[in-house]
């Protein structure tokens, strides 16, 4: 059957398709890491963190500051500064997040609606402070190494493939920590019942600050990984926030497995559609899909069952 | 006087997860009677009446009101038909005045009737429970007993055919309970009453019929005297 | 009731009396504030009185703005009918979004409205050819007339904005003191109880959302007509957050809170970005040698700080506190 000729568009060249899949995979990997942070925070604390994208942005901007500083002080190779950034950025961002939890969210008693309004405020505070001290520029960070992988059609940046590997490894670590360690057990205990956990001597306040820091730190690591591919600017938090929301909601709020599946799906879809068609159209469809999922299937498309 | 069935349930089941909270094969509330539902804690009393008034849907079964199937009808439409429910946990509008609290059901009644005076109806309901002189005070600032009375006044302002009261005397002082019994006897002259109650003296003073629930099932049904004499009830409920 | 009529009358009278005495600068500001406060009055019906926190009201503002401006630009309608068309667009948007979003509650409602608004914002960007995206387009002065009145004239513009604001203010005051308004407030306090009093909460919430959307749309359309500009920034998340901030500041669930909050925030941002922040930037650079290249333009920092402080320390806003402490009759 020659149904392909009835398609309302021309099928793209295989090279374009391959490029779309590769870009989509890189996006999916970083997105999964970022969305995982949002998902953990929601799953355990029931906090919808609207400032999550700004923690991501902060990671990227810090990566620029750190790599620039390391290069200036030591004159060392790019990988040195990058390695330092990979450690320092998530730690600093995590500390800021823990402080936010302690100063703001805890005082609101984690009331769902009030915390959303508060995190919107925090979004603007972080974003505008970045504008203040980093400025309105988009600046690149050099990749830690440079080699290209050959495909049948074009050479492809090896760094991007390393990003995918690193993201997968990190997610495995997080998953192991959450499911196989005492810390993970304590976190899950507070997820089910905060008051009972408290009664059993679990320091819920510290656990929450730690969870919020972990969520923010994951976003920051994602940003450090991506910044050699995409420059750092103070407005870069918007897209990952929107995409993480989409992923977390489609995956089922608080479901880690669903989040990963949805990240892969959205990352690939976004990579393919934006490479081949139009990024704006892809986002319009994705946001409408999210709204409809929340209205008609609040447990998510990939989530097991209602919370 | 021949009993006329007003509100009835057949094969009514409610499951929460794996737990069967309610399993009532047959229940009939007759017009004009005062019926008490009693049973130990966790017997499913509140769940059972919540099914009757539609706060959540049953897992199986059928509910009829005045020979009409209302099983799938949303709660607010049942209220409009004349089934009013007053909450076990006091559920008044704490930030509004007493008047506004009763004006809401009063205006709903007026809307349903297609006319009438909201103010008169609202004040009438407050007068009936003895709170008229406090109409402009804030509901949340009232004593617990007054809040319980306001809760009843809200039900009365709806002008219901069936008034379901969920543990109305819980937390009331003894003197307040006597007044409350008189009030319900007065209301019962025009309204069928379904009462969930723990306080046995209140049940014995008010109820014409008693339904005993245990583990979601009807254990016994009958007049207060018959229930008092029932061995099974004594074993399960009155402590044997 | 009489106190309430006198109070609203006095506020409107004050705004009339102010017109000839204001400097040109404040004159223009206040006209803009009145249009934005109209938007906030609409937002307050949903958030302050009904207790539904929308994060997507910019889509209704934008529906009014673009419904009106595109008709003038593309179909060459005159601004009167175009304004009405904008309002109708917002009404339809409110109905459709309400029918869907009101199936969710709490956080779900917030995110669903946010997502719909983002889709609307992106759609405006997508049809760049007609809307000119965030660059936007102007409506020429020549066509901005209604019944022979030149709406670009500053005095006419001021009074047009005041008429719109007054209509919405009086409308909202009448609504919240009506029987329907009593049900809305009761839904905010305890929706389940309202249902058990025989009301269908969905119907009332839809009413509140549609009225709220209509006022937001009227404000958007008026903005296009009075200031001769439409741009997709007005559809961005930021413009969904602004009315929330204004209402939170002025006092959610008070009729005059939206105006007060809009005035305060407008002048706070104006003063800070005009005077304080450039000075601060110079000070930081001069005294500490820290570069602060963006401080002078970082006025949204104030928005963020205000949101956090309000949520933490004054969720009832200015007039909410006044009502609790001094004037319990304040509508």
Per-residue pLDDT band at C287 (split at 50, 70, 90):
confident
Whether the pLDDT of residue A301 is over 70: the answer is no
* Cβ within 8 Å, pair C307-A283: no
Per-residue pLDDT band at A12 (split at 50, 70, 90):
low
Best to test chain B binding among C184, C198, C199 (most B CBs inside 10 Å): C198
C-chain residue closest to B157, CA distance: C197
* Cβ within 8 Å, pair A118-C103: no
Confirm or reject contact between C99 and chain A (CB < 8 A).
no
Looking at residues B88-94, what average pLDDT do you find? 82
> Which residue blocks in A46-157 are alpha helix, DSSP H?
52-74, 78-100, 112-134
Taking the C-alpha atoms of residue C302 and residue A82, their distance in angstroms, rounded to an integer, is 34
Taking the C-alpha atoms of residue B159 and residue B177, their distance in angstroms, rounded to an integer, is 23
Whether the pLDDT of residue A11 is over 70: the answer is no
The first and second tokens of residue C33, run together, are 């504030």
Helix-helix angle A78-100:A52-74, to 10 degrees: 140
Q: What Cα–Cα distance (Å) separates residue B40 from each residue in B29, B50, B164?
A: 21, 17, 19
Q: Which of B13-17, C184-188, C213-217, C289-293 has the lowest mean pLDDT?
A: C289-293
Looking at residues C86-93, what average pLDDT do you find? 98
Looking at residues B100-106, what average pLDDT do you find? 95
Spelled out in words, what is the top-level CATH class assigned to the domain B1-82+160-240? alpha beta
* Cβ within 8 Å, pair B95-C195: no
**What was the pLDDT predicted at C115?**
94
Q: How far is C53 from chain A (nearest CA, A)?
A: 8
Per-residue pLDDT band at A10 (split at 50, 70, 90):
low
Per residue in C140-181, pLDDT (tens digit) is 888 888 877 888 888 999 999 999 999 999 999 999 999 999
For residue B141, the chain C residues in CB contact (below 8 A) are none
Query: Do B192 and B31 contact (CB within 8 A), yes or no?
Result: yes
Looking at residues A77-89, what average pLDDT do you find? 90
* Cβ within 8 Å, pair C197-B108: yes
Q: How big is the CA angle at B11 (ends B8 and B17), to the nearest 5 degrees?
A: 120
For residue A129, the chain C residues in CB contact (below 8 A) are 298, 301
Q: Is the dihedral of CA B139, B144, B148, B149 positive or negative?
A: negative
Whether the pLDDT of residue B233 is over 80: the answer is no
**What was the pLDDT predicted at C202?**
96
CA-derived radius of gyration, chain A:
20
**What was the pLDDT predicted at C58?**
97
**What was the pLDDT predicted at B2?**
61
Give the residue extent of every domain in chain C: 2-233
Count Cβ neighbours within 10 Å for each residue of A129-142 and write b for 16 or more, e otherwise: bbbbbbbeeeeebb
More confident residue, C227 or B236: C227
Confirm or reject contact between B107 and chain C (CB < 8 A).
yes
Looking at residues C178-187, what average pLDDT do you find? 94
Looking at residues B159-179, what average pLDDT do you find? 88
* Cβ within 8 Å, pair B93-C189: yes
**What was the pLDDT predicted at C291?**
73
* Cβ within 8 Å, pair C196-B100: no
Per-residue pLDDT band at A307 (split at 50, 70, 90):
very low
Chains near C with 3+ CB pairs less than 8 A apart are A, B
pLDDT averaged over chain C? 91
Give the residue extent of every domain in chain B: 1-82+160-240, 90-158
- Find where tokens 């309004």 sit: A117
Q: Which of A192-201, B118-127, C69-78 has the lowest mean pLDDT?
A: A192-201
Q: What is the ipTM of this complex?
A: 0.88
Interface residues from chain A to C (CB-CB < 8 Å): 48, 104, 107-108, 112-114, 116-118, 120-136, 234, 242, 245, 249, 278, 280-281, 283-284, 287-288, 290-292, 294-296, 298
For residue C190, the chain B residues in CB contact (below 8 A) are 91, 93
Whether the pLDDT of residue B25 is over 60: the answer is yes
**What was the pLDDT predicted at C199?**
95
Question: Per-residue DSSP letters for C147-167?
Answer: TTEETTSHHHHHHHHHHHHHH
Residue in A48, A125, A127 nearest the CB of C308: A125
**What was the pLDDT predicted at C148?**
78
Taking the C-alpha atoms of residue B68 and residue C248, their distance in angstroms, rounded to an integer, is 48
Q: How far is C109 from chain A (nearest CA, A)?
A: 9
Per residue in A242-266, pLDDT (tens digit) is 888 888 888 876 677 888 888 888 8
Per residue in C4-15, pLDDT (tens digit) is 899 999 999 999
More confident residue, B203 or C292: B203
pLDDT averaged over chain A? 84
Q: C305 in helix, strand or coil?
A: helix
Residue in C185, C198, C200 nearest the CB of B158: C198
For residue B84, the chain C residues in CB contact (below 8 A) are 196, 198
More confident residue, B174 or A209: A209
Question: Per-residue DSSP letters for A235-252?
Answer: TTTHHHHHHHHHHHHHH-
Whether the pLDDT of residue B227 is over 70: the answer is yes
Per-residue pLDDT band at B18 (split at 50, 70, 90):
confident
Per-residue pLDDT band at B122 (split at 50, 70, 90):
very high
Give the residue extent of every domain in chain A: 25-236
Per residue in A22-76, pLDDT (tens digit) is 878 888 888 889 999 998 898 888 889 999 999 999 999 999 999 999 888 888 7
Q: Which of A122-126, A298-302, B93-97, B104-108 has the lowest mean pLDDT?
A: A298-302
Whether the pLDDT of residue A1 is over 50: the answer is no
For residue C126, the chain A residues in CB contact (below 8 A) are 278, 280-281, 284
Beta-carbon contacts of B13 under 8 Å, excluding residues fewer than 6 positions away, are B20, B22, B23, B24, B58, B59, B60, B61
Whether the pLDDT of residue A226 is over 80: the answer is yes
Q: Which of B140-154, B224-238, C91-105, C301-315 has the lowest mean pLDDT?
A: B224-238
CB atoms within 10 A of CB A193: 11
Per residue in A126-176, pLDDT (tens digit) is 999 999 888 888 888 888 887 777 666 676 778 888 888 999 899 889 888
Confirm or reject contact between B205 and chain C (CB < 8 A).
no
More confident residue, A304 or C63: C63
Looking at residues C297-324, what average pLDDT do you find? 89
* Cβ within 8 Å, pair C201-B76: yes
């Amino acid at each position: 059957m020659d149904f392909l000729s009835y398609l309302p568009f021309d099928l793209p060249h295989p090279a374009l398709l391959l490029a779309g899949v590769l870009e989509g995979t890189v996006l999916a990997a970083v997105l999964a890491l970022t969305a995982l942070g949002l998902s953990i925070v929601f799953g355990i604390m029931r906090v919808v963190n609207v400032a999550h994208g700004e923690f991501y942005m902060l990671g990227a901007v810090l990566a620029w500051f750190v790599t620039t500083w390391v290069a200036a002080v030591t004159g060392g190779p790019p990988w040195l500064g990058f390695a330092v950034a990979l450690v320092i950025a998530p730690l600093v961002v995590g500390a800021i997040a823990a402080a936010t939890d302690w100063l703001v969210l805890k005082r609101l008693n984690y009331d769902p609606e009030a915390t959303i309004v508060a995190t919107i405020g925090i979004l603007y505070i972080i974003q505008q402070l970045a504008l203040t001290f980093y400025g309105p520029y988009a600046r690149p960070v050099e990749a830690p190494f440079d080699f290209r992988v050959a495909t049948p059609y074009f050479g492809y940046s090896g760094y991007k493939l390393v990003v995918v590997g690193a993201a997968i490894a990190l997610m495995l670590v997080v998953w192991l920590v959450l499911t196989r360690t005492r810390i993970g057990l304590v976190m899950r205990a507070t997820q089910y019942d905060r008051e009972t956990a408290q009664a059993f001597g679990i320091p819920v306040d510290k656990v929450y600050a730690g969870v919020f820091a972990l969520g923010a730190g994951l976003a920051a690591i994602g940003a450090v990984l991506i910044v050699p591919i995409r420059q750092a600017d103070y407005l870069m938090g918007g897209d990952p926030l929107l995409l993480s929301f989409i992923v977390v909601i489609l995956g089922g709020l608080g479901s880690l497995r669903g989040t990963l599946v949805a990240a892969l799906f959205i990352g690939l879809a976004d990579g393919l559609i934006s490479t081949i068609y139009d990024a704006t159209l892809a986002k319009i469809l994705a946001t409408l899909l999210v709204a409809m999922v929340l209205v008609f299937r609040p447990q998510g498309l990939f989530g097991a069952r209602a919370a | 006087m021949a009993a006329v069935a007003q509100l009835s349930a057949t094969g009514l089941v409610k499951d929460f997860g794996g737990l069967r909270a309610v399993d009532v094969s047959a229940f009939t509330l007759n017009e004009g009677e005062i019926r008490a539902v009693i049973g130990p804690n966790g017997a499913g009393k509140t769940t059972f009446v919540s099914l009757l008034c539609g706060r959540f849907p049953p897992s199986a079964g059928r509910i009829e009101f005045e020979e009409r199937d209302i099983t799938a009808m949303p709660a607010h439409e049942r209220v409009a038909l004349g089934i009013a429910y007053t909450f076990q946990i006091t559920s008044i509008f704490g930030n509004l005045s007493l008047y506004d609290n009763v004006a809401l059901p009063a205006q709903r009644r007026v809307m349903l009737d297609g006319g009438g005076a909201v103010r008169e109806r609202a004040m009438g309901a407050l007068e009936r429970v003895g709170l008229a002189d406090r109409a402009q005070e804030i509901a949340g600032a009232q004593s617990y007993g007054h809040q319980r009375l306001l809760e009843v006044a809200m039900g009365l302002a709806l002008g219901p055919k069936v008034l379901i009261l969920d543990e109305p005397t819980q937390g009331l002082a003894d003197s307040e309970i006597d007044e409350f019994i008189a009030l319900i006897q007065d209301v019962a002259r025009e309204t069928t009453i379904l009462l969930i109650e723990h306080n046995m003296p209140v049940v014995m003073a008010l109820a014409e019929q008693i339904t005993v629930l245990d583990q979601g099932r009807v254990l016994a049904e009958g007049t207060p005297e018959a229930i008092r004499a029932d061995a099974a009830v004594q074993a399960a409920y009155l402590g044997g | 009731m009489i106190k309430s009529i006198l109070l609203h009358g006095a506020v409107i009278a004050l705004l009339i009396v102010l017109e000839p005495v204001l400097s040109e600068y404040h004159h223009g500001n206040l006209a803009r504030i009145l249009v934005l406060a109209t938007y906030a009055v609409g937002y307050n019906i949903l958030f302050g009185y009904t207790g539904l926190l929308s994060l997507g009201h910019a889509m209704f503002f934008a529906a009014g703005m673009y419904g009106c401006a595109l008709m003038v630009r593309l179909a060459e309608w005159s601004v009167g009918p175009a304004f009405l068309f904008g309002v109708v667009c917002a009404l339809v948007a409110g109905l459709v979004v309400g029918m869907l979003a009101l199936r969710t509650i709490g956080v779900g409602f917030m995110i669903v409205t946010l997502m719909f608004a983002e889709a609307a914002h992106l759609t405006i960007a997508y049809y760049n050819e007609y809307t000119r995206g965030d660059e936007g387009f102007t409506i020429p002065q020549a066509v901005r007339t209604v019944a022979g009145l030149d709406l670009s004239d500053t005095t006419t513009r001021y009074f047009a904005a005041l008429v719109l604001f007054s209509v919405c203010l009086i409308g909202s005051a009448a609504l919240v003191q009506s029987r329907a308004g009593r049900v809305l407030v009761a839904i905010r306090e305890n929706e389940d109880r309202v249902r058990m009093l025989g009301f269908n909460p969905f119907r009332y919430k839809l009413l509140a959302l549609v009225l709220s959307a209509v006022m937001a749309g009227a404000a958007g359309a008026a903005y296009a007509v009075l200031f001769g500009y439409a741009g997709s920034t007005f559809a961005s998340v930021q413009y969904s957050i602004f009315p929330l901030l204004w209402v939170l500041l002025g006092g959610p669930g008070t009729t005059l809170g939206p105006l007060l909050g809009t005035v305060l925030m407008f002048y706070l941002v104006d003063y800070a970005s005009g005077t304080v922040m450039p000075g601060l930037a110079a000070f930081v650079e001069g005294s500490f040698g820290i570069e602060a290249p963006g401080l002078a333009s970082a006025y949204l920092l104030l928005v963020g700080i205000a949101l956090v402080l309000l949520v933490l320390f004054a969720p009832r806003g200015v007039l909410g506190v006044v009502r609790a402490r001094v004037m319990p009759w304040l509508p």
